[in-house]
Amino acid sequence: MSLPPEVKTYRDLIAYQYAQLIGVAAGIDDHGFIFSKFYKLQAGEIEMSSLTKEDKYQLQEGVASCIYCGSEDDIGFDHIIPRSTGGPDTISNQVPACQSCNSSKGDRDVIDWFRNQSCPIPRLVWGKYLKHLYEHRKTEGTLDESLPNDERNRWEGAEVTRTVSKRIRKRYRDSSSETPISTGRSEPVNRSLSEFGAE
Ligand SMILES: [Zn+2]
């Protein structure tokens, strides 16, 4: 999908893409919902979860298959942001991937690589990528720099995968059911989001 005109800076880009992820995690594909999350993230009213949470999720899921294609053969680790372009050699920057996907991706950035794939980007990869981008830009002091056209185009067609695991769905259902229905849907959604790291 293309970026809306409201996305002007790197901070906006990250907030907008993370809002997409929140929508996916909550199972809500609604323009108004996504934009309300986008504005809150942009204003700092809500924050992205820590990378540690993503790592914990990865461990809990016990992913023994390739995050990209699901293969269970030859599983190693892929650096989401390649080491050659400054990606850290930490678990936060790695996801389980098969040899075939790993070599197909090579030294490319995950967003660039996915443009040539027929499937959307896995949620875990999307979350980790955005958090690294945020930290990197924050350190550089360039979060509020306006987004160049090539960066804007790079995200064209990039989409976070719409499927969430049964475990996440169950957590969402369990945490939702703790809240009385009369309080409306925003509360259970927010509560459950903390479970996937989107607080
Ligand atoms: Zn694979």
pTM: 0.78
Instruction: Report CA(70)–ligand 1 centroid distance (Å).
Output: 6
Domain boundaries, the chain: 10-196
Q: Mapping DSSP to helix (H, G, I), strand (E, B) and coil, where does residue 97 land?
A: strand
- The pLDDT of residue 52: 73
Give Cβ neighbours of residue 47 (< 8 Å, ≥ 6 apart). Answer: 41, 199
Q: From ligand 1's centre to the CA of 171, what distance in Å?
A: 27
6, 4, 18: which is closest to 132 by C-alpha?
18
The CA 26 to ligand 1 mean position distance, Å, reads 26
Distance 68 CA to ligand 1 centre (A): 5
CA pair distance 178, 172, nearest whole angstrom: 10
Quote helix, strand, coil % in the chain, to nearest 5: 55, 5, 40
d(CA 143, ligand 1 centre) in Å: 32
Rg (CA), the chain: 17
Per-residue pLDDT at 177 exceeds 50: no
Q: How far is the CA of 162 from the centre of ligand 1 (A)?
A: 18
- Which has the closest alpha carbon to 128: 187, 63, 173, 192? 63
Strands 75-79 vs 94-98: parallel, antiparallel or unpaired: antiparallel
Tens of pLDDT along 124-171?
899 999 999 999 999 999 999 999 999 999 888 788 887 665 555 555
pLDDT digits (tens, 9 = 90+) for 44-83: 999 988 877 777 777 776 667 899 888 999 999 999 999 8
**Over the stretch 11-43, which tens digit does the pLDDT of each residue have?**
999 999 999 999 988 888 899 999 999 999 999
Q: How far apart are CA 76 and CA 96, in angstroms?
A: 6
Q: Which two tokens stand for residue 27?
A: 């199972």
What is the pLDDT, as a whole number, of residue 62?
64
